[in-house]
Structure 1
Amino acid sequence: MAERVLLKIDGQVHEGWKAVSITMALNAICTVFELTLTEKWLDLPARRVVAAGAACELWIGNDLIVTGWVEDSDNSLDKSGHTITVRGRDKTCDLLDCAALHGTGTWKNVKLETIAADLLKPYGLTLKVEASTGEKIDYTIDPGESVMEALTKLARLKGLVLGVTPEGNPRLFSPKPVRADYGFALGDNISTINVTNSTADRFSQYILVGQRSGARASAENARAVKATAADPGMTRYRPLKIVTSEQSSQSGLQARARWEANAHLAAAQNVELTTPGWRSAKGTLFRPGGLVRVDAAYVNVDIDLMVTSVTLALSEDEYRTSLTLARPEAFSAEPAEEAKAKKKKKGQKVDPLMSIE
């Protein structure tokens, strides 16, 4: 089914795009898009102009996807017509590119929300907080770090994830898998599938060492807080020690340790697949965050997974979606489900996303 892709700029709607690429990710602070069309210039009373730097909204039908900026506008002309390629990102793109600046760059005994508000104020953005940020903290900007780097560090301290809303504001949340109204199965709606299961960046134990929040650190107590988390699927001895400069409470550092264990697991184990179209059979646009069943027994996958990134693409009149999926606990500060795994019986099938044995 054809989709209406609408780029709205200053009250004007640009559509009719012949090539489209839109990438959204659960833990990305920006959605990225690229749109291309070719118009027969001899048939047009005036050429189409899309200016770099323009504020824009990107819609797919009635679904708002991006509130941001046109960053690149390429124009070319030949005998076949006028070709325009437009690229852009959410308003949060400035947080990725620009330095974190605020007064002395140091906060003492404040909530995470206060630090975020101070950093975001010059950009006219507001942090949407969807989870508890816990106790007050101290924080100092590292020289040269971007706003996004600062916010990401703060999110990790609390075991949370940083993303973006369709309205272009940063979002702080703990992903809670919500069952989507669709799934994927070989022989039905899976065009291609690739399953990755690697042990290269997984560790048996994650040891986090940091400074005690609010303490006047001396040489003896500067590393007074310690927390550990395990990846029970890594059966050989492989410890990883992470020393942080940020001050944290014991509970905060423990959440960070569990987050590190799950983040490494998520990067090591995932499924990538492509499917025709941009929507489910019920008309739901594919977006990150949904919990879906992936039935692909031939590659030893039959499990519920969370959609972590989506690329909607159009080329040569073909609509297709590329999705990356990972274990539901991948972005959680809760212990991985593998901790509850029982020893498999002889001859029992083992899903590659559930064990490395």
Structure 2
Amino acid sequence: MQPENEVTLSVGGHDYGGWLDVSISAGLERQARDFTVGVTWQWPGSSEVPVRIEQGEAVEVRIGADLLITGYVFSTPISYDSKMIKLSIAGRSKTADLVDCAAINSPGQWRGQSVQKIVEALAGEYGIKVINQSATTLGLDDHTIEPGETAFESIDRLLSLSRLFSTDDGQGRLVMASPGAAGRAVDRLVLGENILNADTELDFSSVYSEYISRGQRKGTDDSFGTQATEVKASVKDERVKRRRVKVIYQSGQMTTKMARDRVEWERGNAMSRAMLVNYVVKGWRQSSGELWRHNMIVRVVDPLIGLDRDMLIIEIKYELTEAGTLAKMALAPPDGFLPEPNDAYERRKLKKGKNTDNFEYLIPADYKP
């Protein structure tokens, strides 16, 4: 394998490589990256001794010089038969503790603080630093930990209100993600050039003609009665021709603006998810030498599916198998992942000609944040 694609585990002051099987996954909607690597030995008669790595050890995972994961070893499966032994090492990002462990802040209530400050407090209990890529600075009247919820469940409730995603980075930090923050890919994904295979459901069953958000808040001297207890907002999607209504019940201290922003975000996000496509390309790196990464904007030219547009890589998996190195990606239009409503649909100007995108009547092909 070329040095720039060598997968290295750094554990206990030692670097381990030479893996025969590799799987490393990351995503815009995944709170914790994960990895699994494996190697086999022939026996009997082999003088090689399996690498002994303890569960719970701190680990760094790199592809070449690129740091992909900072976290911990969670498991070390071993299997064998009469011919060979296989050792695997699996682990996750530091942020896995937020997914697995309880929200333990005491007192578990915040009043009049920003979303970022509350997220920092929840993550800080487990030594996790927080990076905010978004300009959103939403403040909340009140946030209270619910009995039995994990730290991430509490964080996720917060970020749902502000239409943000929570993921991690290579250093094991929690990232309040801004879609497209990884930049624009140098290469395009083009049918007949670098796309090995693809699949898509084009499933529009979760797209609706109207989205309604309902919630409530505690009354104040200026806001009381039904104005406080019945917070509601709705938005229609004229692209759906028959009546289909979705109602979203939101917890926490709602305001009319928060409810309105949520339904507009739901409308855009549902349409983007309906157009999700999975692609597989040979190799982990682009022609520039840069890794393919999630949260990148990439131009997709696939006349078979009908795409000629900018797409967002929302999830990626780096795989090494007998077939070689493969990058498996899930992509969707980026417009529906923005924290603020995007009116690009209303501003769109349909192109004319043979090479137009088949879905431009739904979402503009040229992404303009």
* TM-score normalised by the chain length of structure 1: 0.90
Counterpart in the other structure of 2:248? 242
Q: Which moved more, 1:77-86 or 1:21-30?
A: 77-86
Counterpart in the other structure of 2:270? 264
Cα distance change of structure 1 residues 89 and 193 upon mapping to structure 2, 3 Å threshold: same
Deviation at 1:40, TM superposition (A): 4.1
CA distance in 2, matches of 1:348, 1:257: 33
CA distance in 1, matches of 2:318, 2:121: 35
CA distance in 2, matches of 1:25, 1:99: 23
CA distance in 2, matches of 1:201, 1:115: 31
Identity of aligned residues (%): 29
Q: Which moved more, 1:94-103 or 1:148-157?
A: 94-103
Q: Which of 59, 69, 85 matches 1:56?
A: 59
Q: Which of 14, 19, 31 matches 1:12?
A: 14
1:23 lines up with 2:29 in the alignment:
no
CA contact (8 A) 2:350 2:361 kept: no
Cα distance change of structure 1 residues 348 and 322 upon mapping to structure 2, 3 Å threshold: closer
Q: Which of 344, 355, 366 matches 1:337?
A: 344
Q: Which moved more, 1:69-78 or 1:309-318?
A: 69-78
CA contact (8 A) 1:209 1:223 kept: no
Counterpart in the other structure of 1:155? 159
Name stretches of at least 5 consecutive residues in structure 2 with no aligned partner.
364-369
Counterpart in the other structure of 1:108? 111
| Deviations 1:118-156 (CA, angstroms, capped at 9, x unpaired) | 222221112212222222431122222211111111111
CA contact (8 A) 1:72 1:87 kept: yes
Deviation at 1:219, TM superposition (A): 5.9
1:206 lines up with 2:199 in the alignment:
no
Cα distance change of structure 1 residues 213 and 92 upon mapping to structure 2, 3 Å threshold: farther
| Deviations 1:78-122 (CA, angstroms, capped at 9, x unpaired) | 454432111111011111112212224222222223322322222
Secondary structure at 1:285's aligned position in 2?
coil
Counterpart in the other structure of 2:173? 169
CA contact (8 A) 2:218 2:228 kept: no
CA contact (8 A) 1:39 1:81 kept: yes
CA contact (8 A) 2:219 2:228 kept: no
Name stretches of at least 5 consecutive residues in structure 1 with no aligned partner.
none
CA distance in 1, matches of 2:90, 2:309: 36
Deviation at 1:198, TM superposition (A): 1.9
CA contact (8 A) 2:350 2:360 kept: no
- RMSD over aligned Cα, in angstroms? 2.6
Deviation at 1:184, TM superposition (A): 0.8
Counterpart in the other structure of 2:71? 68
| Deviations 1:147-187 (CA, angstroms, capped at 9, x unpaired) | 11111111111121111111111111321463211111111
Residue type of the alignment partner of 1:276: K
CA distance in 2, matches of 1:45, 1:271: 43
CA distance in 1, matches of 2:320, 2:348: 41
Secondary structure at 2:299's aligned position in 1?
strand
* TM-score normalised by the chain length of structure 2: 0.88
